[in-house]
Structure formats: C-alpha cells, structure tokens
Structure 1
C-alpha cells in the first residue's frame, strides 16, 4: 500500500481570481504544494503581488491581467502560461463578484454582470483551459462555486449570485461527463461563509456574527481552509473523483 500522493511537483497551474481572497490563498497553496502558477485577475497590485510572493517562495509564477468574460484574453492567457511555464495540467477558477438587491427591483445590468462573471466567466475559463488539457490528454479543473448554489442564504437578497453558483455546480458536473474519457477531471468546491476581505469589513460585523452563529463550527472559514480541498481535488490522490461538488461549509448545510 502506497500513501496517497497529494504533491503537485512539476505541474503547471492557472488560477483565476488570484489577486485576492480565496483565489490568492489557493494560488499560494498550489505553489507551496510544488506547482508553478499563472495568476489571472484584473490588472492591479493584487495579482502582481500574488505572483511576486510565489516567486519569492522559490516557485515560478507569472501575473497575467485578464478579464474572464473575454474568451480571446483567456485563450491568450493559457497560451502564455504554456509558453512561459509549461504544459497546463491544473486550473482553479475562483474569479467572481457578489452584491445584493431585492429581486423585484434588481436592474438587468446588475443581474447580467454577476451572471457574466460568476457563471459565464467560469465556463469560458474551463473552455480555454480544456483546449490545452484535452490536446495533451490530461488535466484537472476545480471551479469555486458556493453553498449558495445549494441553499438560499437567510437574509441575503442575491437571486443572481445564488443562481450563478448553482449553475457552476451543474456546469462542472456536465463538463466532467463530457471530458471523463479524455483525461480531464472537473470538480467544484462550495465554500460556506469565509473570511474574505468582503466579509471582514467593519460595516458587516453584525451580519458576520449571525453567519457564525448559524454555522455548526461556530465561525467562518479562513481562506487558507479552502486550499487543502483544492489541492486534494487537483492531485493524484483524487484521481477517481470527477463531477463532485465538495461542500466546505463548517456543517452549515446540515441544518
């Protein structure tokens, strides 16, 4: 019996949304597990900082400013990743936004922006990544969904976000089935309430206390607690797992 292999040594990964929050933590975590990482996000100090931190740790990394709603830009990002790092075999799609409005008052533009980034952006990212992975006959993709794709959050008016995340879960299952016999695995992770910059602002402190009270483990996740699930699903230790939505929610959806 050999121990499961969680190492990502010698692999090249692409992470969207790598400039902050969960995406940044996962990009750093993949590097710590042995991967070289292409960091994808909108242009700014966030994505540059993530790549620099990875490089300082001894792994290779590049920052590629990219809009995940632009299929040509995503195709170019994958091509640059392979040109400057190596064959793309790992990807984590984290790019997303959130906001709130009553459904009966929500402007179409607000609905569409969340759908375009949180859902269509994930599809376009998977499509660009798969063009490379399918050609090579191997790869693993993890899409970051949300427990909001399985439940409706008490007190949060976000029909657009919930719908987009539910779609990401089913998209991941659909792609997993399309690509299962071609060497590419696709899974999703559904985080519960997580201490991202959005959830640690002073003005949402009362709301956060309610989030924590509603979570069986009694707190929000740290962004680092999403790294282990991502590394697991990408690694050879999960070689027989595809089409899974892994809830990382502190038990929230059990109640």
Structure 2
C-alpha cells in the first residue's frame, strides 16, 4: 500500500527548467514513477538534449519552450497542456538563476529585477496559471524549488538578491498552501544545499569557497541532483498527502550550525 502511494501512473506533470540539472533529474524521477512529464525550458536545445537522454532510457517525455518570466506564455502553455492531456496534476517550479558573488551595494536594478523575475515572479506566474486548473479539478500538487539560502545568509559569496528571492519562494509556498489547501491543492517546497552540477564545478578550484561550502556541511559533500529529485517525487506523490506548506530542507545539515 505504501509504495503504491509513490506511483504517479495516469498523472500529468510539468517541470520548469527541466532540461538539465535538478530539473532533468526530477523529470526522470516523475517519469519513472509513471507520470507523463513535460519539460518546460526557455532553451529549446537544452530541453531537447535532455529529452533525448531520457528517451534513450525508455521515457516518453514532451518538450515545450517556455520562459517563466513571460506570464502570457506561461498562461498559454497551461492552456495547451490541459487541452492536449486533459489535466495537470503536478507542477514543479524549478527554473531559477543565481548570479552570485555581487555585493549588495553594487547590484544594478537590472540584476536585482532579473533574479526576482525568474525566481519569484516566474514561480508565481506558473502557480497561478497551472494552479487555476488544479483548483477547478479539486486536486493537484505543486512543488517549488527554494533554497537553504531562503533561511540563511551564505558565505563567503554575497548574494542578497538571490537570498531574498528564495525566501520569497518559501513564503509564497506557505501562502498558497494556506489559500488552496481546503480546495484540494497542496503546495510544498524543497530547500536544497549546494548541488553538484556544471554550474558549481568552479568551487573545487577555489579553496576558500570549497572550505566554506563543504566545511560547513556536516555530511562533508555537495548534494547530487537525484537526491533533490527524490524529495520532489515524494512531495508530488500521494505519499505526502498530509503535507502542504512544508519547506523541506535537503541540505546535508548545512543549516544545523
């Protein structure tokens, strides 16, 4: 009975920023559990490369080009997905950017607005567009990718804009959970630690950064993308049916200190 709750057969899921990294691992996890998954990414080439890698493993996933900062496009994709598949059961808001290593006093308007637009506004546009269909159906699960940076101030990198955007995602998650819980839609978030991806590879060549990141993590390593995907899968599934408004830390203990 319990393992059956983790199955997603017959469900339709969409993952933003699904072409690579945490997003692609999440697409694979949901597809392996039986869901029909759509990769939504603003970079069509990246999305199709990710799609091809999963098709080679036997997973039939779709691709749609979507920039989460374009609310009109987000609304259109939501309409198109439901028109094609008849439903949307799971939304994973993974698309995000960092643009770290910039002291607050030097952050330009463009820099601040860009990070907020992708990380916070984009998450809301998607929740609103797809959430409306879930509310009409009386069921659905939304999982937002937040960050441990929504709880703490990272060091040594200076990234007030990123920290603020992810704290916003966390509180948006709780707010939507409170509004939509009685109407059958659950909204949760995952707050990852530093994850081993090509974007973080530079840290291994920076002793100060490496010592701060890994030395500050009780388990002594960065996370892997599949470790975050596993948590997303759980939250998206009926195994987490009692959970809404939760911000699940998957940070190797980094925020324990």
Q: Unaligned stretches of 5+ in structure 1?
A: none
Aligned residue in 2 for 1:75? 75
**2:157 aligned partner:** 156
How many Å separate the matches in 2 of 1:219 and 1:95?
24
Relative to structure 1, the CA distance from residue 160 to residue 227 in structure 2 (aligned partners, 3 Å threshold; closer, same or farther) is same
Which residues of structure 2 form unaligned runs of 5+? none
CA distance in 1, matches of 2:167, 2:81: 29
Normalising by structure 2, we get a TM-score of 0.94
By how many angstroms is 1:24 displaced? 1.2
Distance in 1, matches of 2:136 and 2:53, equals 31
Aligned length: 254
| Counterparts of 1:89 and 1:71, CA distance in 2 | 20
| Worse-matched range after superposition: 205-214 or 10-19 | 205-214
- CA-to-partner distance for each residue in 1:188-233, whole Å, 9 max, x for gaps? 0000111122101377543234311210000000111011110110
Contact 1:98 1:161 (8 Å CA) reproduced:
yes
- 106-115 or 50-59, which deviates more: 50-59
Q: Structure 1 length normalisation: TM-score?
A: 0.95
User: Per-residue deviation at 1:58?
Assistant: 3.7
- Do residues 188 (structure 1) and 209 (structure 2) align? no
Return structure 1 stretches of 4+ with deviation > 6 angstroms.
Answer: none
1:243 corresponds to 2:242:
no
Aligned partners of 1:233 and 1:41: how far apart in 2?
22
Alpha-carbon distance in 1 for matches of 2:86, 2:31: 14
CA displacement 1:23-76 (0-9 Å, x = unmatched): 111111111111111111113321112223334444432111111011111111
How far apart, in 2, do the equivalents of 1:192 and 1:9 lie?
Answer: 30
Q: Please report the RMSD computed on the Cα atoms of aligned residues, expressed in angstroms.
A: 1.5
Q: Which residue of the partner structure matches residue 127 of structure 2?
A: 126
CA distance in 2, matches of 1:118, 1:208: 25
